[in-house]
């Protein structure tokens, strides 16, 4: 938004030796003095999208300083004289500076200065005197703990400083769901999802969190209603015109189709998802998406191939994913595909190489199921025993998981080297129909490594 200032913004500048408003920690004279301007926002996103991260960081700092000065020159005096009329402008300022903090976070991450970012947040705390601004900063700190430090406990502790019961900021609510306690009741989770959907205009987020709502119903074993919600979300997104869609939304569409296919055993939906992912992979290689995102897309293709029973293809895509980014979680699914394809020695070797102690409950469950598939394929006493032990250790918090786990254990207890082939085939079918519905997975929307196109709002890819 363009500000028509009440006071000339130059009069509100810090003195030459005071800290700069952008949070860099430098003196104003050595940072944004004489360099800040309105036009630098587009330049910052442009530089970032060209992978010129250092230049993007400088441009973003300069624009942040310009906006803070405009806020102090225009919005603050307006709030003093006409608080009700100025409330909308204050909200615009909070959202605009929040978007710039988003970009700053990415720039600090990409330039290898991520350890400095919490200090930046502390230094810009006074940019706007409003609790919603302070909540935005807590959100960014939560992301820092979650993705840079991989400390879910500290992330939950940080975001819990926000009053989640009354919060309507969709991004804060989204990251809370990413780190929420495992025992969060269904009604509370569904209520948070409804608040996200009610308070976001972003169509990709509407798709993303509508699908998560459907998954949540599936987790309490109301699979029919859950699938209806997912189908409606897909149809709503597909009906949008080109302006309403985005690259990130298209990615979520592919993932929604994959999940719907897995939950409802719809091969056509998974085939469409497979085709969507292939297009993304081709585009990603051409445009130059980060390796971690290419690894994610390639793994998703592997998941689709495995669901469709194309295990050799699945193995190749899982290996391709690991070539982009080494990840034990991908090895879990590679091991499963190998077991199904008869490459049992490699499957066992992969599973034994994985340190599953670092997995959250959902991924440990995946790990246990992979052992069960291997055991059912080999029928060796050692594999059967390992599968039983891992399934017993796996924690299940949702009714669907509890039912699946009990069924798997009961059937696995009866497996011996003399179990009839027909019964083994049926058990393998049950195990491979197991769907890993991790309600945290959809938090990828707030991952700081997400596609830049949505970070830049209206910037071109």
Tens-digit pLDDT profile for residues 1-30: 444 445 678 889 999 999 999 999 999 999
Cα separation, 126 vs 68, in Å, equals: 10
pLDDT at 433: 59
| Within-domain flag for 457 | no
Q: For the domain that residue 409 is a member of, what is the CATH number? A: 1.25.40.10
Residues 158, 9 within the same domain: no
Q: Do residue 147 and residue 2 come from a single domain? A: no
SS3 content of the chain, % helix, strand, coil (to 5): 75, 0, 25
Per-residue pLDDT, 376:
86
Q: Within a domain: residue 6?
A: yes
Radius of gyration of the chain from its Cα atoms, rounded to whole angstroms: 25
Task: Tell which of 129, 162, 179 closes a domain.
Answer: 129
Distance CA 26, CA 276 (A): 46
Average pLDDT, the chain: 85
- Look at residue 174 and tell me whether its pLDDT is greater than 50: yes
Closest CA to 284 of 254, 308, 313, 314: 254
In a domain, 32, yes or no: yes
Last residue of a domain, one of 129, 156, 188: 129
Q: Does one domain contain both 234 and 98?
A: no
Please indicate, yes or no, if residue 451 is contained in any of the structural domains.
no
pTM for the model stands at: 0.79
The count of domains in the chain is 3
Neighbouring C-beta atoms of residue 34, cutoff 10 Å: 9
Contact 410, 183 (CB under 8 A): no
Output 111 or 289, whichever has higher pLDDT.
Answer: 111
At 109 the pLDDT is: 92
Residue 381 burial (10 A CB sphere; 0-12, 13-18, 19+): exposed
For range 129-143, the mean pLDDT: 95
> Which positions ≥6 away from 164 have C-beta within 8 Å?
172, 173, 176, 192
The residue that leads in pLDDT, 231 or 208, is 231
Residues 182 and 242 in one domain: no
* Same domain as 86, residue 145: no
Measuring CA to CA, how many Å separate 85 from each of 75, 78, 168, 276, 323? Answer: 10, 8, 21, 46, 55
- What is the pLDDT, as a whole number, of residue 152? 87
Instruction: Give the residue from 131, 447, 104, 93 showing the smallest Cα distance to 296.
Output: 447
Integer Cα distance of 181 and 162 in angstroms: 15
| 172 in a structural domain | yes
Domain boundary, last residue among 83, 107, 129 = 129
pLDDT tens across 312-327, in order?
Answer: 999 999 999 999 999 9
Going along 102-164, which residue ranges are E strands? none
Q: Give the pLDDT band (50/70/90) at residue 459.
A: very low
340 or 425, which is more confident: 340
Q: Please say whether the dihedral angle defined by the alpha carbons of residues 311, 313, 318 and 319, taken in this order, is positive or negative.
A: positive
pLDDT value at residue 179 = 85
CA distance 366 to 440: 14
Average pLDDT for 327-344? 94
pLDDT higher than threshold 70 for residue 41: no
Range of the domain at 192: 140-200
Asked whether residue 455 is domain-assigned, the answer is: no
Cα 167 versus chain centre, distance: 20
Distances (CA, A) of 25 to 40, 104, 177, 450: 20, 14, 33, 27
Do residues 322 and 385 both lie within one domain?
A: yes
Residues 381 and 248 occupy one common structural domain:
yes
Same domain, 120 and 147: no
The answer to whether residue 452 scores a pLDDT higher than 60 is no
pLDDT confidence of residue 132: 95
Alpha helices in 288-414 (DSSP H): 291-307, 311-324, 328-341, 344-353, 361-378, 381-393, 399-413
Do 217 and 241 share a domain, yes or no? yes
Are 251 and 292 contained in the same domain? yes
Assess whether 317 and 440 both reside in one domain.
Answer: yes
Is 456 among the domain residues? Answer: no
What pLDDT shows up at residue 7?
Answer: 61
d(CA 44, CA 107) in angstroms, rounded, equals 10
Angle between helices 131-143 and 83-110 (to 10 degrees): 20
Q: In this predicted structure, what is the pLDDT of residue 6?
A: 55
Same domain (yes/no): 338, 209: yes
**More confident: 53 or 437:** 53
Structure tokens at 163: 């009053």
pLDDT in tens, 353-379: 999 888 877 788 889 889 988 988 888
**Predicted pLDDT of residue 402:** 66
Instruction: Flag whether 289 is in a domain.
Output: yes
What secondary structure does DSSP assign to 77-96, as a single string? HHHHH-HHHHHHHHHHHHHH
Task: Please state, for a pLDDT cut of 90, what percent of the chain lies above it.
Answer: 56
């Amino acid at each position: 938004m363009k500000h028509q200032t009440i006071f000339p913004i130059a009069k509100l500048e810090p003195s030459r030796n005071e800290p700069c408003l952008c949070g860099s920690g430098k003196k104003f004279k050595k940072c944004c003095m004489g360099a800040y301007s309105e036009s630098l926002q587009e330049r910052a996103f442009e530089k970032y999208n060209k992978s010129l991260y250092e230049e993007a960081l400088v441009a973003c700092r300069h624009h942040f300083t310009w906006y803070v000065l405009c806020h102090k020159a225009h919005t603050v005096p307006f709030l003093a004289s006409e608080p009700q009329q100025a409330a909308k402008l204050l909200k615009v300022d909070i959202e605009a500076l929040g978007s710039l903090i988003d970009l700053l976070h990415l720039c600090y991450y990409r330039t290898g200065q991520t350890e400095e970012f919490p200090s930046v947040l502390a230094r810009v705390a006074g940019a706007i005197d409003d609790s919603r601004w302070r909540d935005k900063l807590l959100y960014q700190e939560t992301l820092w703990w979650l993705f840079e430090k991989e400390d879910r406990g500290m992330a939950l502790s940080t975001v819990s400083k926000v009053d989640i019961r009354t919060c309507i900021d969709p991004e804060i609510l989204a990251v809370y769901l990413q780190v929420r306690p495992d025992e969060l009741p269904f009604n509370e989770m569904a209520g948070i999802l409804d608040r996200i959907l009610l308070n976001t205009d972003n169509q990709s987020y509407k798709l993303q969190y509508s699908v998560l709502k459907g998954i949540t119903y599936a987790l309490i074993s109301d699979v029919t209603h859950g699938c209806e919600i997912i189908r409606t979300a897909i149809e709503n997104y597909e009906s949008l015109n080109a302006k309403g869609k985005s690259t990130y939304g298209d990615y979520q569409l592919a993932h929604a189709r994959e999940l719907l296919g897995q939950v409802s055993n719809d091969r056509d939906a998974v085939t469409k998802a497979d085709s969507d992912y292939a297009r993304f992979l081709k585009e990603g290689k051409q445009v130059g998406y980060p390796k971690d995102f290419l690894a994610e897309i390639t793994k998703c293709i592997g998941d689709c191939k495995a669901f469709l029973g194309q295990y050799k293809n699945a193995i190749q895509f899982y290996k391709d994913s690991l070539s982009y980014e080494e990840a034990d979680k991908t090895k879990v699914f590679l091991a499963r595909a190998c077991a199904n394809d008869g490459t049992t020695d490699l499957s066992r070797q992969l599973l034994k190489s994985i340190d599953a102690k670092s997995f959250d409950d959902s991924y440990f469950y995946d790990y246990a199921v992979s052992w069960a598939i291997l055991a059912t394929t080999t029928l060796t006493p050692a594999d059967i025993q390992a599968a039983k032990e891992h399934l017993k250790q796996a924690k299940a918090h949702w009714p669907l998981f509890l039912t699946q786990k009990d069924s798997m254990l009961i059937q696995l207890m009866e497996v011996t080297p003399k179990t009839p082939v027909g019964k083994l085939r049926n058990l393998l079918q049950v195990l491979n129909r197991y769907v890993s519905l991790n309600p945290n997975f959809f938090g990828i929307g707030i991952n700081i490594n997400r596609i830049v196109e949505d970070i830049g709002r209206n910037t071109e890819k």
